[in-house]
Chains A and B, each alone.
Chain A
Amino acid sequence: MVIKVQFGIFTVGDVTTDPTTGRTPTEHERVKAMVAIALKAEEVGLDVFATGEHHNPPFVPSSPTTMLGYIAARTERLILSTSTTLITTNDPVKIAEDFAMLQHLADGRVDLMMGRGNTGPVYPWFGQDIRNGIPLAIENYALLHRLWREDVVDWEGRFRTPLQGFTSTPRPLDGVPPFVWHGSIRSPEIAEQAAYYGDGFFANNIFWPKEHYQRLIGLYRQRYAHYGHGAPEQAIVGLGGQVFMRKNSQDAIREFRPYFDVAPVYGHGPSLEEFMRETPLTVGSPEQVVERTLKFREYFGDYQRQLFLVDHAGLPLKTVLEQIDMLGEEVVPVLRKEFAIGRPANVPDAPTHSSLLAARTAEPAPAEA
């Protein structure tokens, strides 16, 4: 099935006290809740589940491919992804191996998003230095890119033990590496990197005003064309979003406000109203979420992937599952229809294993730099 725009959930995996009850879930409950959220996403017809990667409390998802492998076994069509995989502090060799293994187990339903990570101590915990964040992202990805495309790799760089005659196994499924998104909140270097490789660019726009992301995405599209991958409007763009819905928008605001006010990332700061004005956060009815999300296309051009954050700040699992139900029943079907209207024929559909395989078959033996 061809899907023009993929819709899904991305989760940070925070363990946060529910401010309305004072109850804190255990790590075990949170891990299982993340799985339940993924299964619900498939059940209601969403396309993607993406998990974050963290190595410090209060976050639980330190081992994304373990979790995604488990979810793969319990789903049929959901694409399993990350938001993000730390390209700075993980060994690129292990990323190549882990995600290729996952790709085989999931029959190709796998892609991943590269990110640098912004938690200072994680770098030294993994033997790195945060001041090398960009160089690490560039060098490690250059190696990962080769490991998935060349059977035997000789390699030497600044940050890792050299490799002589190394073969990363298993080889990618059907010889097609998992599609890679590069996630960025603010760095033009990462937009440049995504453009260079012709990879996807995911702008996690949930905190900042849209103007900032218009510039970043504009830069990515322009550089994507510069590197000869296609026209600017053919670049592969993903966006974040953050929603809380109830049938009646006043109920949504009343219910979400206590979670918003003390939320780990932006709590104790701007009011809910200010934050909704300045960022894509939408708290209201499903119709309002549709209306707001349709604006993204106006701001950033036709795009390929829309992920929503729905499960943070201590919201109980039951509430989160209701949110996903509403996304699947009332929001995404309308967005699919609306996004298809007037979408230029040259704008590519969201990449999947089968579309990448088909593209490769159509153009045999691409030269590898």
Chain B
Amino acid sequence: MTNVRLVAVSAGLGKPSATRLLADRLVTAARERLERQGEEVEVRVIELRDLASDIANNLVTGFPGARLREAVEAVTGADALIAVTPVFTASYSGLFKSFFDVIEPDALTGKPVLVAATGGTARHSLVLDHAMRPLFGYLRALVVPTGVYAAAEDWGGAGDGLTATLPDRITRAAGELAAFTAAARQARPAGPAQTPAGDGAKEKEEAEVVPFEQLLASLRPGRG
């Protein structure tokens, strides 16, 4: 049995918040699917509200404080990520964007990501495709085909009979995330499990250093 680190990022501001509620529903569904695949799942939900001033401070100083650093390491070290934002002024919230702004641009490469959003009306549902997909596309994450948008009306009622209901969409998206996660883990070369911080990061940095002769050689005239 392996261990999957499933991390959800919720940018909801209310307490309780519909965004957090959606994040929790997605986490539950994804955990279920992963466990059915024989995975042991470790869940972590990160509320950006609790990190709001840390994120602003990082933007100003250029480095994360201890609390934010720990959250960023959890996200970059996750095997699967669920990212949920409320719609603010026709897009993801500024807090949501700022959190991903302080993460290194290559840190989410190849990571399975489920995008989800909440809003007052269904008219904003294309925020998933017009804002969130480009963001994670830029970060070269593997965004699953189904994004989940929950309008206020989705929390009650049984839909119109023509569109999939919120529970259906959640189940489908969670299934896709579980499949992507399994595929991404298979694609990863065998070796010791990556640890997000501490000695693991140290080893990573040392392994990544390009020998100086190589740096020099790439500059010789006639090259690139």
Contacts and interface: CB of A to CB of B under 8 A. Distances in A.
A192 B215 contact: yes
B206 interface: yes
A218 B221 contact: no
Interface string B190-203: 00000000000110
B212 to A, nearest CB: 4
A119 to B, nearest CB: 14
Interface in A204-242: 207-209, 212, 215, 218-219, 222-223, 227
A123 B118 CA distance: 43
Interface in A252-276: 265-270, 274-275
Contact of B66 (A139, A192, A278): A278
B209 A138 contact: no
Interface residues of A, number: 34
A227 B209 CA distance: 14
A135 B219 contact: yes
Nearest to B214: A192
Contacts of A195: 212
A328 to B, nearest CB: 30
A134 B216 CA distance: 11
Contacts of A189: 209-210, 215
A223 B219 CA distance: 21
B212 A215 contact: no
Interface in B47-62: 56-57, 59-62
Given A207-B63, A269-B61, A219 B205 contact: yes
B215 A138 contact: yes
A223 B209 contact: yes
B120 interface: no
A138 B210 CA distance: 12
A215 B202 contact: yes
A157 B224 CA distance: 12
Interface string B126-140: 000000000000000
Interface string A62-75: 00000000000000
A152 to B, nearest CB: 19
Contacts of B69: 209
B75 to A, nearest CB: 18
B145 interface: no
B65 interface: yes
B219 A157 contact: yes
B219 A222 contact: no
Interface residues of B, number: 24
A293 B69 CA distance: 24
Contacts, number: 70
A188 interface: yes
A223 B216 CA distance: 16
Given A138-B216, A157-B219, A188-B209, A269 B63 contact: no
B22 to A, nearest CB: 31
Interface in A154-203: 156-158, 188-189, 191-193, 195-196
A196 B211 CA distance: 9
Interface string A52-80: 00000000000000000000000000000
A342 to B, nearest CB: 25
A357 interface: no
Contacts of B215: 134, 138, 189, 192-193
B144 to A, nearest CB: 33
Contact of A196 (B56, B212, B219): B212
A156 B221 contact: yes
A269 B52 CA distance: 12
A269 B57 contact: yes
Closest 10 A-B residue pairs measured CB to CB? A269-B60, A196-B212, A270-B57, A269-B57, A208-B63, A266-B61, A139-B219, A188-B209, A269-B61, A156-B221
Interface of A: 134-135, 138-139, 142, 156-158, 188-189, 191-193, 195-196, 207-209, 212, 215, 218-219, 222-223, 227, 265-270, 274-275, 278
20 contacts: A156-B221, A157-B219, A158-B219, A188-B208, A192-B209, A192-B211, A207-B61, A208-B63, A215-B201, A218-B202, A219-B206, A223-B209, A227-B212, A266-B61, A268-B60, A269-B59, A270-B60, A274-B65, A278-B63, A278-B65
Interface of B: 56-57, 59-63, 65-66, 69, 201-202, 205-206, 208-212, 215-216, 218-219, 221
Given A157-B219, A278-B65, 5 more contacts: A188-B205, A192-B211, A209-B69, A270-B61, A270-B65
